[in-house]
């Protein structure tokens, strides 16, 4: 029995954004590469539509109704970057539903059935706040999934590792006051949406459970891998989540037109190996939820690389990487704050 599950749905192609960089071509490119490799041997399943109650656990009913109504009338612009078409409602339901089904397969299935999985849908989600669609995103798929994990699927704690080059402001804000989800974001600083400074650490009971790791323009494989190995991995071991989710954007790639980082295909392989090693060390399942990535070739190759690495029979070797200056600073900052003394 396979231990790797991939959720997809053709409705992702019906979210019509015209000439927008977040286009149906993204999913088409990914699926073309994966199908040519026989889906890497993963168990490919159609995602269900998310129950409205699951979406409304994160987004108010008024927000959900607004997206539904806009799609029903043929679509329109929410803002300069965020488009709704007639097919967007169905696509958004399955994007959220795929993320929920991913969690259920990883946590609720027969023991040992699935240890890794991926939900490959659009629209992406991590910019969507509780009450506002923005940044190409309608519903926050990974937030819906993490909430479902801790409220309905038996997890006590979940961890989200967001390596999209743009800060996941929606996810950040949704969990800012909660301690049952640890949110760690590696993103290019001073880039859309302009959020995610190091001093944003959450509030109230969630203080310390938001970890923002902005990097400068031009950052590449060594910076991202060091932050994953030397900051995110020890954080995960200290937090001990029951599930790790990657908010997996591929727009930090050197070929991506919307940002300025320089991660390579090999960099994504190393990053994927690092997070898989973390989940394996913790003895917990690993789920991947697709976010951004706008150079079609780089996106498709990098997604396929991630799936190949996290789905390998044997644990891939994580390349050795020196502790980067940003990692040292983050470790000192987190330990000094008193929330993560184990990092000292």
Catalytically annotated residues: 127
Backbone angles phi, psi at 158, to 5 degrees: -130, 155
Cα distance between residue 48 and residue 281, in whole Å: 31
Helix (H) or strand (E) holding 143: helix 141-152
| Residues 6+ positions from 193 with CB-CB distance below 8 Å | 127, 134, 135, 166, 167, 169
Burial 302-324 (b: 16+ CB within 10 A, else e): bbbbbbbbbbeeeebebeebeeb
| Residues 6+ positions from 21 with CB-CB distance below 8 Å | 257, 258, 294
Secondary structure letter of residue 185 according to DSSP:
E
Q: Helix and strand tally (H, E) in the chain? A: 11, 10
Instruction: Please list the residues that pair with 85 across neighbouring strands.
Output: 75
DSSP string, 302-335: HHHHHHHHHT-SSPPPPPP----HHHHHHHHHHH
Give the position of tokens 């000192």: 332
Q: Is the peptide bond before 75 cis (omega within 30 degrees of 0)?
A: no
Burial 134-151 (b: 16+ CB within 10 A, else e): bbbbbbbbbbbbbbbbbe
- Asked if 337 contacts 303 with a C-beta cutoff of 8 angstroms, the reply is no
């Amino acid at each position: 029995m396979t231990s790797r599950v991939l959720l997809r749905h053709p409705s992702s192609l019906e979210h019509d954004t015209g000439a927008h960089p977040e286009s149906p071509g993204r999913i088409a490119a990914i699926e073309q590469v994966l199908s040519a490799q026989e889906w890497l041997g993963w168990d490919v399943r159609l995602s269900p539509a998310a129950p409205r109650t699951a979406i409304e656990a994160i987004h108010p009913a008024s927000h959900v109704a607004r997206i539904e109504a806009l799609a029903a009338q043929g679509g329109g612009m929410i803002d300069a970057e965020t488009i709704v078409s007639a097919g967007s409602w169905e696509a958004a339901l399955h994007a959220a539903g795929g993320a929920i089904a991913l969690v259920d397969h990883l946590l609720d299935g027969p023991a040992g059935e699935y240890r890794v999985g991926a939900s490959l849908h659009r629209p992406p989600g991590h910019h969507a706040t509780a009450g506002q669609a923005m940044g190409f995103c309608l519903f926050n798929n990974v937030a819906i999934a993490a909430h479902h994990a801790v409220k309905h699927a038996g997890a006590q704690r979940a961890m989200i590792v967001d390596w999209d080059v743009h800060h996941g402001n929606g996810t950040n804000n949704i969990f800012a006051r909660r301690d049952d989800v640890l949110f760690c974001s590696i993103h290019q600083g001073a880039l859309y949406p302009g959020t995610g400074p190091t001093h944003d650490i959450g509030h109230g009971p969630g203080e310390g459970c938001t970890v923002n790791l902005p990097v400068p323009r031009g950052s590449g494989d060594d910076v991202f891998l060091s932050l994953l190995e030397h900051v995110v991995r020890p954080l995960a071991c200290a937090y001990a989540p029951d599930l790790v989710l990657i908010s997996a954007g591929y727009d930090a790639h050197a070929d991506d037109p919307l940002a300025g980082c320089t991660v390579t295909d090999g960099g994504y392989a190393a990053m994927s190996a690092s997070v898989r090693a973390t989940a394996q060390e913790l003895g917990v399942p690993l789920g991947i939820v697709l976010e951004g990535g706008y150079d079609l070739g780089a996106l498709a190759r990098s997604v396929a690389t991630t799936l190949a690495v996290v789905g390998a029979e044997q644990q891939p070797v994580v390349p050795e990487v020196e502790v980067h200056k940003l990692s040292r600073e983050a470790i000192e900052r987190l330990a000094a704050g008193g929330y993560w003394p184990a990092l000292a």
